[in-house]
């Protein structure tokens, strides 16, 4: 297994470790989505190269695409609000984790107030 494939698996696990994140296959049997409270914040499919699609602030998205050739407008997604990132070992793993956290945060900000409050209560609960 290539390093990028291992990183891809790690990044999906990282996304699923965020509060209330769940995996789903709403489109087909290959396209994995990771959702929070029913809203997608990460998409990926098996294969090489390993790619993840993430929600991204439009200004940040533009900056990232200008700086990194492995970051493109979201594939089959709204090009203004989504990016598709090809995983490469040219960047450290925390770089990709931060992009996932950013996507998650953007989606959480758009949740209903009651959903955001429930999510905050869950984060504050001590782990048994």
Give mean pLDDT, residues 101-108.
Answer: 97
* 120 confidence band (pLDDT: 50, 70, 90): confident
Give mean pLDDT, residues 23-35.
Answer: 96
pLDDT of residue 127: 55
CA atoms within 13 A on the CB side of 89: 6
Q: How far is CA 117 from the centre of its chain?
A: 22
Q: Looking at domain 3-124, which of 3.40.50.300, 2.40.100.10, 3.40.190.10, 3.90.1150.30 is its CATH number?
A: 3.90.1150.30
pLDDT tens sequence across 53-86: 999 999 999 999 999 999 999 988 999 999 999 9
- Residue-averaged pLDDT of the chain: 93
The first and second tokens of residue 110, run together, are 């758009």
Give mean pLDDT, residues 40-62.
Answer: 96
Distance CA 46, CA 8 (A): 9
Distance CA 9, CA 108 (A): 23
Cα separation values, 30 from 27, 67, 80, 99, Å? 8, 30, 25, 22
């Amino acid at each position: 297994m290539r390093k990028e494939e291992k990183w891809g698996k790690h990044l999906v696990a990282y996304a699923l470790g965020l509060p209330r994140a769940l995996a789903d296959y709403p489109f087909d049997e290959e396209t994995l989505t990771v959702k929070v409270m029913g809203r997608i914040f990460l998409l990926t499919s098996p294969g090489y190269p390993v790619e993840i699609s993430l929600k991204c602030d439009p200004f940040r998205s533009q900056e990232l695409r200008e700086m990194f050739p492995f970051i493109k407008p979201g594939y089959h997604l709204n090009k203004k609000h989504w990016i598709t990132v090809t995983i490469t070992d040219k960047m450290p793993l925390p770089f990709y984790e931060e992009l996932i956290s950013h996507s998650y945060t953007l989606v959480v900000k758009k949740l209903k107030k009651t959903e955001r409050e429930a999510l905050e209560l869950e984060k504050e609960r001590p782990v048994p």
